[in-house]
Structure 1
Amino acid sequence: MSNKVKTWVLLRGLTREHRHWEDFPEKLQRCFPGTQVITPDLPGNGDHADVISPSSIRDMMLFLRKDIASTIASGPVHIIALSMGAMVAIEWMKSYPQECAASVLINTSLKGISPFYHRLRPENYYRILYSLLAGNSDGREKTILQMTSNIYPNTEQLLQRWVFYAEENTVLPANALRQLLAASRYRSPRVKPDVPILLLSSKNDKLVNSKSSVSLAQNWLLPIETHLLAGHDLPLDDGDWVCQKIDHWFANGLKGSH
């Protein structure tokens, strides 16, 4: 089924950038040989750290479309999106379904489907604010890593890389707050986008309750696969598992996506 995929667009979440995918793009390309994998940054993050983050998911989506216009012009893309990035993907599919061939949404949540205490676990409210506003990049990135990863090996080396990313492309606190505002108030579309969708969730997600993905699957009648050990950053913790589930979905003709 891999020959049907031309381009993967990978979208990350709150304050994260393309380098936080680590080696997942390479794993994806091995699973789907001959495909293009692009990892555009959302406004305010990574290569766009000097851009003011919009306070709405829709405006983030419009920025993204303009940023990768040449890729979109080549034909419909396949999307893998994590957390807030999945909200951007949903808005994209809702508004421009002809540009989206299929989408894999990982550990996301939507207002109108999940209560606020499932969308962000209450025990992490203080840590989330600290991770967004702390001036010390070491402490900030360590907090984020503790909240988002459960089983990644060599966390000390990973943390060093994340601190480097944060210091090279610093996310402004005001931008982080705008992104949080956009994600918190993004409401589920009334109707599921007319695009094949697979949900992936982490049972032990310490940031977003996995019930959020289950509720979305029930409301939109979507297929869902659940990892029992990984954290919120599922592609980081077990990228091979993610690729296997996507490959299986394609092999079964995107079964259960409509």
Structure 2
Amino acid sequence: MSAWVLLRGLTREARHWAELPAQLHASGIEEEIVFADLPGCGEHFRVKTPASVNAMAEFVRADLLSRGYTPPFRIIGLSLGAMVAVAWAQSRPDELARLVLINTSMRPFSVMLRRMRPGAWPALLRAALYWRGRRAAEAAIHDLTCRRNEKRDTDLAIWIAIYRSAPVNRANALRQLLAAARFKAGAAAPRCPVLVVASREDRLVHPACSRTLARAWGATYCEHAWAGHDLPHDDPLWLAETIVKWAVGATALIDDVGDGSGA
């Protein structure tokens, strides 16, 4: 069986998936779940981030192969991680079996003002300005990407500890941001089945980006009613159950717009 590969987004790494891997197994995923960090993040935090999403995809592929994993892979990608998954799927179509693309955007399907909403710019600037004074940076990221706030202090403590153990430098963060802004996907849909998931209350990326992408590629689309950009943080149970229902072919069980109840 092909493994499920989890790819996070801008400056995030494997540990930021938090509860989702356990929820995927609890919801019925029997295959191995593998974490792959982008160059410049997580276990690869000392690596200089490439200037392009395609180069990131090649890095992730080489990393997985060097660890003994073999295609075809099933990838769950969030934001920039989803762009990397698309680049891989379009350059080496026989190596991917399924794609789950969460809260992502890319040219030519969406314009820049939807790909990065203007209202997000102040929070991103705060994070950049206070990058080394980590609590302020993580607080800005949390406020921008999460809608669930009842465990905010705990989240920040965990995220600060992650950063201190594998610090993403500001230059790598900027290169990731620029690579994401420049990325342009091919117009043709990936050959494998694709599930596109969006959060209706995403403050960073307009959900219309996901809707447009799903429509262009004829992909299955599902929308969470209240979550923010970091959907795995806000409602991991709903996300896991949505992915599993789609993966087993029970697409009739997936609404175009979910209520986020996890039921």
Is residue 130–residue 140 contact of structure 1 (8 Å, CA) maintained in 2?
yes
Identify if the C-alpha distance between structure 1 residues 72 and 199 changes in structure 2 by more than 3 Å, giving closer, same or farther.
Answer: farther
Report the equivalent of 1:174: 171
Deviation for aligned residue 1:152: 5.2
Residue 8 of structure 1, CA deviation = 0.7
Contact 2:24 2:241 in 1 (8 A): no
Which of residues 214, 217, 220 in structure 2 aligns to 1:217?
214
Q: 1:167-214, CA deviations, whole angstroms, 9 ceiling, x for partnerless residues?
A: 221111110100000000101212111111000000000111101101
Q: CA deviation at 1:130?
A: 2.8
* 1:82-121 alignment runs, 5 A limit: 82-121=78-117
Does residue 8 in structure 1 map to residue 12 in structure 2?
no
Secondary structure at the residue paired with 2:235? Answer: helix
Which stretch has the larger CA shift, 33-42 or 104-113?
33-42
2:38 pairs with 36, 42, 48, which one?
42
Cα distance in 2 between the residues matched to 1:53 and 1:156: 30
1:153, distance to aligned residue in structure 2 (A): 3.6
DSSP 3-state at the match of 1:35: coil
Q: Are the equivalent residues in 1 in contact too, given 2:49–2:175 (CA < 8 A)?
A: yes
Asked whether the equivalents of residues 133 and 173 of structure 1 are also in contact (C-alpha less than 8 Å), the reply is no
Letter in 2 for 1:252: G
The answer on whether the counterparts of 1:79 and 1:89 sit within 8 Å (CA) in structure 2 is yes
For structure 1, the residue ranges without an aligned partner over 5 or more in a row are: none
Pair 1:123-2:119 in alignment: yes
Compute the displacement of 1:145 (Å). Answer: 0.7
- Which position in structure 1 is the counterpart of 2:257? none
Distance 1:161 1:73, change over 3 A: closer
Deviation at 1:126, TM superposition (A): 2.7
* 2:243 aligns with one of 241, 246, 250: 246
Aligned residues between the structures: 252
Between 82-91 and 17-26, the greater mean CA deviation after superposition:
17-26
Q: How far apart are the structure 1 equivalents of 2:214 and 2:200?
A: 14
What is the CA deviation profile of residues 99-139 of structure 1, one whole-angstrom value per residue up to 9, with x for unaligned ones?
11101000000121111110011011132133245221000
What percentage of residue pairs aligned between the two structures are identical?
A: 38
Alpha-carbon separation, structure 1, partners of 2:172 and 2:129: 10
Q: Give the Cα separation in 2 of the matches to 1:177 and 1:76.
A: 31
Answer yes or no: is the 8 Å Cα contact 2:145–2:230 preserved in 1.
yes
TM-score (norm 2): 0.91
CA distance in 2, matches of 1:253, 1:71: 32
Aligned residues of 2:49 and 2:172 also touching (Cα < 8 A)? yes
- For residue 51 of structure 1, the aligned residue among 44, 47, 66 is 47
Is there any run of 5+ residues in structure 2 with no aligned partner, and where?
255-263
Q: SS in structure 2 opposite 1:209?
A: coil
How far apart, in 2, do the equivalents of 1:177 and 1:7 lie?
Answer: 31
Distance 1:102 1:146 in 2: 31
One-letter code aligned to 1:173: R
Report whether the alignment pairs 1:148 with 2:145: yes
Which amino acid in 2 is paired with 1:229?
W
SS of the residue 1:225 aligns to: strand
- Give the TM-score of the pair, scaled to structure 1: 0.92
- Give the letter aligned to residue 85 of structure 2: A
CA–CA distance in structure 1, aligned partners of residues 128 and 51 of structure 2: 15
In the alignment, which of 223, 229, 234 is matched to residue 232 of structure 1? 229
Q: 1:128-207, aligned counterparts within 5 Å?
A: 128-134=124-130, 135-151=132-148, 153-207=150-204
Q: Which moved more, 1:231-240 or 1:66-75?
A: 66-75
Secondary structure of residue in 1 paired with 2:236: helix
Which is further off, 119-128 or 63-72? 63-72
Residues 32, 45 of structure 1: CA spacing in aligned structure 2 closer, same or farther, 3 A cutoff?
same
How far did residue 157 of structure 1 move? 0.7
Cα pair 2:8 2:78 within 8 Å, conserved: yes
